[in-house]
Chains A and B, each alone.
Chain A
Amino acid sequence: MTTTPTGAPVWERTNDHTTYGGHLQKENYQGQGAINAKTDVTAQQFARLCADVEALGKVADFATITYTQDDTGTADPTVDSYDAMAGARAPTATRESDGVVLLTWEDSYEDAYGIAGDINIGHVHADLEGTAAGGCTWTRHDTTANGSYNAVRIRCWDAAGAAALDKTVTVTISTTVG
């Protein structure tokens, strides 16, 4: 039988220290602290763990993707690497026009215990790889009209403000509360 964890997958950003078993008054049984520091974890140490997990869970990025555009071939970009809280299920990467790619994530993903957590993109960073001046801009989109952002459109520019072609781009997104 699979254990159902408390709370929601961390990328929903709704967990707090109590999700992990923390409690402001949690104490060692009968006030007895660790008998052996090599084998025992005290209530105080457990409280620190819960507070730190809560803090990390609020700010950790959901995903980072690196892709390479194929504007010359007018084809969808190649995903070079992808890391995410929800594992290796990369977003759909679609070339829309020169220098423009739409990255579309699913509305929700399951955690290691099979619990679904919704996606709502709050923050985006996008940067060009290469040696020439240029940059990226982003816009967020709700392609499934469910009230949460599940996609980002990345535009790549050269130094003159024209579309930058065939670039390799790294995009990091962070989810936020729905």
Chain B
Amino acid sequence: MAFGGFAPLPLRLGGGPIHGWTAAQYAAMCSAMVAMVRRAKLASVTVEQTGATTGNLLAYNGQNGVGEDYAPAVAFLATGDIRITFDDSWEDAYGNVHPVNIKRCRVSCGAGAMRWRTWEIESPTTIRIRTFNAAGVADSAAVTVTVY
């Protein structure tokens, strides 16, 4: 049920299941969106360390975009020591600026042997990941890092 005969916006809530969008359906969608936005991650980054100070980005999914072009800066500081630095903010397609303020982090290691891992928030935009072997000695691994 549109505003005018061929005017799609503003949408007028109502109508039937084929041509309409009811207030209850819209309310359900709003409720679901709020719930998902409240606990949505900022990004997941997966990298592999190939040497003490070298490595590769394997995958990036962020609210700002998907793929290497959107990924944060990754520095391989030493064996088992990785720093990930996001920009201060990101801009959505409509030009709205969203500040980056990292509060939580989750890390898992990709390796064929046991790895321990820790994470540290160095700044609102910087996460530092350390990985260790079973003996607690710094050792490299691929890592998936999810930040919130």
Taken together as a complex, chains A and B put the C-alpha atoms of A13 and B112 apart, in Å, by: 29
B52 an interface residue at 8 Å Cβ cutoff?
no
Does B24 sit at the interface, judged by CB under 8 A?
A: no
Chain B residue, CB-CB nearest to A26:
B9
Q: Is the interface of A mostly helix, strand, loop or mixed?
A: mixed
Q: Determine the residue in chain B with the shortest Cβ distance to A140.
A: B110
Q: Distance in Å from the Cβ of A100 to the closest Cβ of chain B?
A: 10
Whether B109 pairs with A137 at a CB distance below 8 angstroms is yes
Residues from chain A with a CB closer than 8 A to the CB of B115 are 135, 137
Contact with A along B14-39 (1 / 0, CB 8 A): 10000001010010010001001100
Contacts of B135 in A (CB 8 A): 161
Instruction: Please tell me if B97 contacts chain A, counting CB pairs below 8 Å.
Output: no
State which of B64, B96, B108, B114 has its C-beta within 8 Å of the C-beta of A138: B108
Chain A residues with CB under 8 A of B21: 41
- Chain B residues positioned under 8 Å from A26 (CB to CB): 9
B120 to A: closest C-beta gap in Å: 18
A172 → chain B closest CB, angstroms: 9
Judge whether A113 is part of the interface by a CB distance below 8 angstroms. no
Residue of A nearest to B30 (CB): A49
Q: A24-B94, A176-B66 are in contact. Are A122 and B3 (CB under 8 A)?
A: no
| Chain A positions within 8 Å of B40 at CB level | 55-56, 59-60
Residue-by-residue, is A14-49 near B (CB-CB < 8 Å gives 1, otherwise 0)?
101100001010111110111100111111001101
User: Which of A32, A47, A52, A125 is within 8 Å of B106, CB to CB?
Assistant: A125
A54's nearest neighbour on chain B, judged by CB, is: B93
**Complex CA distance for A33 and B19, rounded to whole angstroms:** 21
A172 to B3, CA, bound (A): 44
Asked if A30 and B7 make an inter-chain contact with CB atoms under 8 angstroms apart, the answer reads yes
Interface bracket on B: 35 or more
CB-based contact A59/B59 at 8 Å:
no
Interface hits, A104-142 → B, CB 8 Å: 122-127, 135-140
Given contacts A28-B10, A122-B59, A135-B115, contact A60 B36 (CB under 8 A): yes
- Tell me which residues across on chain A come within 8 A of B14, comparing CB atoms: 39
- Closest-CB distance, B53 to chain A (whole angstroms): 22
Q: Does B133 contact A (CB under 8 A)?
A: yes
Interface string of B51-79 (1 = CB under 8 A from A): 00000001111111111000000000000
Residues on A close to B: CB < 8 A? 13-14, 16-17, 22, 24, 26-30, 32-35, 38-43, 46-47, 49, 51-56, 58-60, 122-127, 135-140, 155, 157, 159-161, 174, 176-177
**Interface CB pairs A-B, < 8 A, 19:** A13-B66, A22-B93, A27-B9, A28-B10, A29-B9, A30-B7, A34-B10, A39-B13, A46-B9, A47-B94, A58-B66, A59-B44, A60-B40, A123-B146, A124-B110, A127-B108, A135-B117, A138-B108, A161-B133
